[in-house]
Amino acid sequence: MGQPVREYLLTLCVTAAVTYLLTGPVRKFAIATGAMPEIRARDVHREPTPRLGGIAMFGGLCAGLLVADHLDSLNGVFERSNEPRALLSGAALIWIIGVLDDKFEIDALIKLGGQMIAAGVMVVQGLTILWLPIPGIGAVSLTSWQGTLLTVALVVITINAVNFVDGLDGLAAGMVCIAAAAFFMYAYRIWFGYGIEAAAPATLFAAILMGMCLGFLPHNMHPARIFMGDSGSMLIGLVLAAGAISITGQVDPDALRMNLSLSGSEREATHAMLPVFIPLLMPLTIIAIPMADLVLAIVRRTWKGQSPFAADRGHLHHRLLEIGHSHSRAVLIMYFWAALIAFGTLAYSVHSASMWIVFVIVALSAVGLVLLLLPRFTPRAPRWAEAFVPPRYRRRTRLAAAAAAAEGTEEWDGAEEERTPVGAGVSGVNGATAVGPRSRFPDRRKTGASR
């Protein structure tokens, strides 16, 4: 079992390294080609920032698949299944559409059609949902058109959910990386824990997706030097959906039930059967936050008589900024909730009878609510540790506080990189930015996410 883990780690590292190294040249290419849209009213960054980060992420995807094809424990995935080729075909198509949108801003309906075609390309090559495990009924075989419609719907929903949440520096890449990590652990357990070979492609997809996100994050964390754009957000959304489709519709629940019965007592098999039904929930839990944002956006825009594709400033990350959270804290809060939902579901699938897991999830949920209700709270390090923490976590001396009061400056919320006045509003007009009037900010470069 150690050999596959090392090879997955190697694949992840190669994918991350290629993505990281390509992002710098891609940024220069985006600047040279003018892929730097002007600031829009809904944006939270202050300067035009290059997009096309998806080019580097697609390069990382290709490198990860190429390396995996030459590793002893992983090349069997390419020999026994056509799913990696199906993923690469669909990813290439959605990536081209995203690059064109980043440069020319194509119509939303054209993008939607492209997403459906990309999903159809994967279905034609075998990456589709064949059956669904229904609790109390068992495996339900789907007809060809039922599997196609369900696959296309899941791909389109996941792509747009990830695209909608891509609104702050590092937000989409970090949340998808967290989801991919939880999904990797789940798929790896199904493959090596229960000996189900059909789960191998989903495990590989999750490892490569983690590498894509980890390689891009250093360039995209606040303040971002480059955005992934639609070429990146739609790409990672498609890869995430491909893994969910693979393990949901390709793993035979009856084969898994037989392996569980052979591996332990009847009671243990009954408790362990939960992983058979988790595929119905895991694809939803790993994108729970983006899905909630997507549904709320559609309802909000439709209620106002607008198109569901019309952009606005009502996303969850915008609301976190409005109630007083700094950019970095808003991103970390979204990370927290994504990790809680994804890893909570994963833990419950392993030990479904353990009440302590439910207790821990409830306790962490309470912590998350407290963080949401304390947007002005900034942790302070003790005096002896101030030399080892960023300046924003150090206690200000009385002399510095008196000097600030003498200059008439406002009380800051402690996030030095944001320089956000307490109570600053959110606006996108008349020179104001998402976290306050432009005049309140220092002149140094600041960027956020565009969407």
Identify the helix (H) or strand (E) that includes residue 134: strand 131-134
Which residues have C-beta within 8 Å of that of residue 7, sequence separation ≥ 6?
68, 71, 72, 73, 74
- Asked if 55 and 99 count as a contact pair (C-beta separation under 8 A), the reply is yes
- What element of type H or E holds 436? strand 436-437
Cis-peptide into 223, omega within 30 deg: yes
CA distances from 323 to 194, 375, 415, 426, 432 (A): 47, 7, 15, 9, 17
Q: Which residue is associated with the tokens 């800051």?
A: 412
CB 349 within 8 A of CB 186: yes
Place of tokens 């995807």: 61
Say what the pLDDT of residue 250 is. 67
Report whether 279 contacts 248 (CB < 8 A). Answer: yes
The CA-CA-CA angle for residues 86, 232, 337, to 5°, reads 100
Amino acid at 379: P
pLDDT for 260? 54
Question: How buried is 226 (Cβ within 10 angstroms: 0-12 exposed, 13-18 middle, 19+ buried)?
Answer: buried
Q: What is the pLDDT of residue 292?
A: 74
Q: Domain map of the chain by residue range?
A: 2-372, 379-412
Question: What Å distances lie between residue 165 and 75, 296, 299, 427, CA to CA?
Answer: 34, 12, 16, 19
For the chain, report the end-to-end CA distance as a whole number of angstroms. Answer: 42
pLDDT tens over the chain, length 451 residues: 556 888 999 999 999 999 999 999 999 999 898 887 666 555 555 577 888 999 999 999 999 999 999 998 898 899 888 999 999 999 999 999 999 999 888 888 899 999 999 999 999 998 998 877 666 666 778 888 999 999 999 899 889 888 877 878 888 899 899 989 988 988 888 887 777 788 889 999 999 999 999 999 999 988 888 999 999 999 999 999 999 888 876 666 666 655 555 555 444 444 444 555 555 566 566 667 767 777 777 787 777 777 666 666 666 766 777 776 777 888 888 888 888 888 887 887 776 556 677 778 778 878 877 777 676 656 666 777 777 666 655 665 544 555 555 555 444 443 333 333 434 443 333 333 334 443 433 444 433 444 5
Q: How does DSSP classify residue 194?
A: H
List alpha helices for 195-252, DSSP H.
Answer: 200-220, 229-249
Residue type, 154: L
Q: In the chain, how long is the greatest CA-to-CA distance?
A: 76
Tell me if 26 sits within 8 A of 56, measured CB to CB: yes
pTM of the entire predicted model: 0.75
